[in-house]
Amino acid sequence: AQTVTQSQPEMSVQEAETVTLSCTYDTSESDYYLFWYKQPPSRQMILVIRQEAYKQQNATENRFSVNFQKAAKSFSLKISDSQLGDAAMYFCAYRRMTGTYKYIFGTGTRLKVLA
Amino acid sequence: EPEVTQTPSHQVTQMGQEVILRCVPISNHLYFYWYRQILGQKVEFLVSFYNNEISEKSEIFDDQFSVERPDGSNFTLKIRSTKLEDSAMYFCASLAVPTDTQYFGPGTRLTVL
């Protein structure tokens, strides 16, 4: 069975600084998707970034980028130039390319941004 | 931009009562999901629905739960006899095609007293 682990329950970053959130996963599949979702206090799930496992290039979305290490089964999220609005829970998620396409989420990392 | 909607945003019910949570997925989507998030915990998969039938369900999704797509637009989750431990945020999500990303609704907060 696939699992997703986020070992940092909470992280803090100074405004304008860079922070990296960690995520590891376990799967026997060779093709899959990985995602980072942001959940602000409203609890809406907002897609931050997604990575296809077959792509070697790391995904980037503006200030957000990932470091995808397939062999190590690691998928970290880097937030550059952190802003107060980045404060939220961040969930890493895994999805197979076959089956029902359900998501498997990690336990989340709460990010605090300090002014 | 199309979005998934959920109603109500907050439902309060007494233990033992039946509740129906409603979702309107994005219109051309084919795959539908319910997830649950107990306060302070991770988001957990409940059930997936495709081609008018359940395609997968988790251990959480016991006989007290059911899903339906009654009219081609709504997607509902029914809990027959609510328990205190059913208190959680329930998210609906939909997916157009397998290569796409799931779109999540804003959630329904269920409080069982």
Q: What are the sequence ranges of the domains in chain B? A: 5-112
Phi/psi at A85 (nearest 5 deg)? -70, -10
pLDDT tens digits, A84-108:
999 999 999 999 988 889 999 999 9
Q: Using CB atoms, which residue from B33, B37, B42 is nearest to A102?
A: B33
Q: A50 contacts in B (CB within 8 Å)?
A: 101
Q: Give pLDDT, residue B33.
A: 97
Kindly state the DSSP code that residue B107 receives in the 8-state scheme: -
Put simply, the answer to whether A91 touches B35 (Cβ < 8 Å) is no
Q: Using CB atoms, which residue from B41, B91, B98 is nearest to A101?
A: B98
Q: Give strand pairing partners of B58.
A: none
Evaluate if residue B36 carries a pLDDT over 90. yes
> Is B14 within 8 Å of B110 (Cβ atoms)?
no
Number of domains in chain A: 1
User: What whole-number percentage of chain B has pLDDT above 90?
Assistant: 82
Q: Give pLDDT, residue A23.
A: 98
- For residue A12, the domain's CATH number is 2.60.40.10
Segment holding B20, helix H or strand E: strand B19-24
Closest CA to A49 of A73, A71, A68: A68
Evaluate if residue B55 carries a pLDDT over 90. yes
Task: Encode A50-86: b = buried (16+ Cβ within 10 Å), e = exposed.
Answer: bbebeeeeebeeeebbbebeeeebebbbbbeebeeeb
Give how far A72 is from chain B: nearest CA, Å: 23
Evaluate if residue A10 carries a pLDDT over 90. yes
> Is B97 within 8 Å of B103 (Cβ atoms)?
no
Q: Give pLDDT, residue B37.
A: 94
Mean pLDDT of chain A: 95
CA atoms within 13 A on the CB side of B77: 31
Evaluate if residue B78 carries a pLDDT over 90. yes
CATH superfamily of B5-112: Immunoglobulins (2.60.40.10)
Residue that wins the pLDDT comparison between B45 and A42: B45
Give how far A37 is from chain B: nearest CA, Å: 10
Structural domain range at position A89: 3-114
Q: B89 contacts in A (CB within 8 Å)?
A: 43
What's the full length of chain A, in residues? 115
Q: Using CB atoms, which residue from A93, A100, A103 is nearest to B55?
A: A100
Residue B40 confidence class, pLDDT cut points 50, 70, 90: confident
Evaluate if residue A82 carries a pLDDT over 90. yes
Q: B102 contacts in A (CB within 8 Å)?
A: 95, 101, 103
